[in-house]
Amino acid sequence: MNLDSIQQVIEFLGTFAFAISGIRHAAAKHFDWFGGYVCGVAVAIGGGTIRDVMLGTTPFWMTSPSYLLCTALALAFVICFAKYIECLQNAWFVFDTFGLALFTIAGIQKSLSFGQPFWVAIIMGCITGAAGGVIRDVLLNNEPVIFRKEIYAMACVAGGLSYWLLANIGAPMELTVIVSFLVTCIIRFLAVKYHISLPKLKE
C-alpha cells in the first residue's frame, strides 16, 4: 500500500472510532439519534478540519461523503449493538483512545505530505487527535478532556515522537504506523489505569 492508501484507511478507521466515542457520550446525555449523529460528526471531523484549514487545503470530509456515511454507520452500530456495548465497561474510552491514536498518525502523515517539518507535523497530529474531543466536550457541556489531569494530548506527542524516530531510521511505513499507534494507546491506557498525570499548577 502507498502512503495515500494507508492515510485514507487510517482516516476511515479513526472516523469510525471517534464517531462511536462521540455517539456514546451523547447517549450518556440522553440525546436523540440526530443529536448523537451530530456529536459523532463533530468528534470525527473536528480535529481534521482544523488541521486542514491550517495547512491551507480543503477539509478532508468535503472531498468525499464517505466520512459522513462512516459516521452514520457508527450510529447504526451503536443503535444495533447498544446492549452489547453497554456490557463493555468504559467502551467509549477504548474507542476514543483508538481514534486519538489513528487521527494523530493521519495528522502527521498529511502534514508531512504538505512539506511541513516534523515538529509541525507532530503538533498537527496532536490537533487532529485531540481537537475533536474538545469540540465534543464543549457540545456536551463537559470539561474538555485535555484540561483534565489525565494524560491525553501528551499521548499524541509520544506517538508522534515514536513516528519521527522510526521514520528517521528508515523503518517500513507499516511498522512505523503500528508502533506509533501502540505507543499512543498504551500511554493513554496506562495513564488512566494507574492515575498518572502531569503536575498541577499551583496558585
- With vertex at residue 135, the alpha carbon angle to CA 21 and CA 65, rounded to the nearest 5 degrees, is 70
The set of residues, in sequence order, having a beta carbon less than 8 Å from that of 174 and lying 6+ positions away, is 1, 6
Q: Measured between alpha carbons, how far apart are the two ends of the chain, in Å?
A: 52
Alpha-carbon distance of 35 to 183, in angstroms, equals 33
pLDDT of residue 21: 83
Alpha-carbon distance of 45 to 37, in angstroms, equals 12
Alpha-carbon distance of 49 to 44, in angstroms, equals 9
pLDDT of residue 149: 60
pLDDT of residue 73: 95
pLDDT of residue 10: 78
DSSP notation for the chain: --HHHHHHHHHHHHHHHHHHHHHHHHHHTT--HHHHHHHHHHHHHHHHHHHHHHHTS--GGGS-THHHHHHHHHHHHHHHTHHHHHHSTTHHHHHHHHHHHHHHHHHHHHHHHTT--HHHHHHHHHHHHHHHHHHHHHHTT---GGGSSB-SHHHHHHHHHHHHHHHHTT--HHHHHHHHHHHHHHHHHHHHHTT-BPPPP--
pLDDT of residue 2: 62
Q: Give the three cell numbers for residue 131.
A: 481537537
29-58 tens-digit pLDDT: 999 999 999 999 999 999 999 999 999 999
Give the model's confidence band at 86: pLDDT under 50 very low, under 70 low, under 90 confident, else very high: low
Does residue 110 surpass a pLDDT of 90? yes
Does residue 1 surpass a pLDDT of 60? no
Q: Higher-confidence residue: 192 or 165? A: 165
pTM of the full structure: 0.87
Does residue 3 surpass a pLDDT of 80? no
Give the model's confidence band at 165: pLDDT under 50 very low, under 70 low, under 90 confident, else very high: very high
Does residue 60 surpass a pLDDT of 80? yes
